[in-house]
Amino acid sequence: MQSKKSKSKEDKILVIVESPAKAKTINKYLGKDYIVAASMGHIIDLPKSRMGIDVQNGFKPEYITVRGKGKILNELKRYASKSKEALLASDNDREGEAIAYHIGEAIAKKHPDLPIKRIVFNEITKSAILDSIKEPREIDMNKIKAQKTRRTLDRLVGYNISPILWEKVKRGLSAGRVQSVALRVICEREEEIEAFIPKEYWTLKAEFVKNKKEITAELHKVDGEKIEFRNKNEIDILLEKIDVNNFVVSNIQTTPKTIKPTPPFITSKLQQTAANRFNFTSKKTMSVAQQLYEGIDLGSERIGLITYMRTDSTRISNQAIDEVRQYIAENYRDALPDNAQFYSKSDKAQDAHEAIRPTSAYRTPESVKKYLTPDQFKIYSIIWERFVASQMIGAVYENTVFYITSGNVDFKISNSTTLKEGFNLCLNLLKSKETEKSAKVKFELGEKVNFKQYLPEQHFTQAPPRYTDAAIIKFLEENGIGRPSTYAPTISTLQDRYYIVRKSKQLIPTVLGKLINKIITTSFPNIVDVDFTAKMEKDLDGIENGTTSDIKLLTDFYSPFIEKVEIAQRSLESHKKSFEEETGELCDKCGKPMLKKLGKYGFFLACSGFPECRNSKPIPLADCPRENCGGKIVGRKKAARGKEFYGCTNYPECDFVTWSKPTEYNCPKCGKFLIEKNDKIYGTYKLCIDENCGYKQIEEH
């Protein structure tokens, strides 16, 4: 007869998730009858040291236990030996399905009689977890095929092109399907900026006075037509013809305008909003969202605050809609629409998950604020606000335009009045930051208006803006390149390879990035073709849906691709010395010349006597501003936060430091270096490092 102790062990159910944080949350819901363990992501995967794809044998992948994960796998098998059933609970996407499949296969080999099932959930709440356990399913083999095909494609590209880059440029470089397209787009935008020639143009405003209040109006039309001024002379010619004593209100147009709420967040829109509102990188946004999804301790309970954060669908469950409508009825009664609001999905959306939403509308940002970090509060707040607002009525405004006319010249003043707040009632961090530029005034039709002065203003056309995290994600999403799970890693990889750098919010290609882009666009045009890459994503979706053959897709891709690889190996010229430059400086350790070289994090100085002499140091950016110091300012990393600061090479004798990066320009007043600053008043400008000097160089636009 079995002892009570051994029986209780064998009666347990093993639940395998991906992360310890998720395991901790779920364990609180399931209790003592379950063992909840974490796999720490992929346990079985392709090898890192070789391609691991048998091209001649139907592109068969070579799977191995990931280095360092053997102990975890053995522990999962040990837990399985004590369990009557195993439930694979990794994320409900292709990667999660692959993780579940490989773990299930490994456990089944050791315990062939153990029942193994797959469970999925969109949120980590007690009800969602318990419901998923009641409805286990089999592994989705079409998802496995799609993941395996995507992984194989990336291997074929990366492990064939990367060695060429190592041989022709430098070691440590890489190429990838999605990252190469993103790099191409960033480089092409930079080429547009470099080739851009500004053109002068002028705008005209007029200042009027009513009740001692100055009111600014903008030029609307001349002779009923819009007009553009190329220079000041064209404005002067027009002004000579206007009778400033004859301005009257010639027309008043009042129109209601309704602004509808936007759908709840999908991954790309969350990343874009966090970038624009909080200056968060995509990687940071997803990291914070993951924490909110996996579970937060709220005093008496631990719960996932948001649904799964990798999604391209705006769909919301009926249960969530019923709850949020109840919340709105209790808190914003007048803003509750008669019926629930539904949002159409994109043609490119897989629609595998709901939109990103709070797991309960009643869990308001303020009610959980004390349990969250500042970053968690920001991300949770905008998710909550966007979701609740999406089920409220639109905001209604009354727009009034006054046309002030003299002869054939019309100026206009616009006013906007809020008639109904609608969804704005629940917004805080997502409230529009736009402010009315015109004064709130009222005119009567036919009223004479007192003219004060003209306000002509010179402008120059601007080059197209560089891509930001938000803008490049928007581009990738709109063109069907990559998936919600790939946007943030794509940008991070480009930065890690030093193909791009981030300056303020802008993504700027480096000289290395431009060279890599040139090589790939010339030798492998399909890899960086937007339409080709988008079609590949659709084909992967087709494999998941069971309508496309994985082997046919790989065969059709590989044959022409490998031909181009062979051509590139033979014909590409070497760029090995492109990033080595003599400096005229001698090594202070061995006396040999120092070279300017390109490393993983950018350029640095290295001794030409390497490997015998391994002396290296940062490149000086400017002369130290301290009198009689003679040192150079170089970049340094602050270990605690990883943030770069700038200090003197004569440290500790000279303790000068600054967080602001020196520019290549010196102050025309005192000769010390200028730093680059950015604020809302002046935009980007240069400032003297010496506060006592105070020289400021504002860029003209």
Residues belonging to the active site? 308
Yes or no: say if 199 and 458 are a contact pair by the CB < 8 Å rule. no
> Rounded distance, CA 144 to CA 375, Å?
35
Contacts of residue 132, Cβ cutoff 8 Å, sequence gap at least 6: 89, 119, 120, 121
Residue 687's alpha-carbon distances to 626, 646, 693, in angstroms, are 17, 16, 9
User: Across-strand partners of 607?
Assistant: 594
Yes or no: say if 65 and 56 are a contact pair by the CB < 8 Å rule. no
> Rounded distance, CA 506 to CA 290, Å?
25
User: Across-strand partners of 201?
Assistant: 459
User: Across-strand partners of 580?
Assistant: 597
Give the Cα-Cα-Cα angle 357, 359, 361 (nearest 5 degrees).
80
> Rounded distance, CA 599 to CA 576, Å?
13
Residue closest to 278 by CA, chosen among 142, 423, 150, 429: 429
The pairing of beta strand 616-617 with beta strand 622-623: unpaired
Quick one: CA torsion of 442, 448, 450, 456, rounded to 10 degrees? Answer: 80
Yes or no: say if 381 and 429 are a contact pair by the CB < 8 Å rule. yes
Yes or no: say if 132 and 89 are a contact pair by the CB < 8 Å rule. yes
> Rounded distance, CA 664 to CA 648, Å?
16
> Rounded distance, CA 20 to CA 26, Å?
10
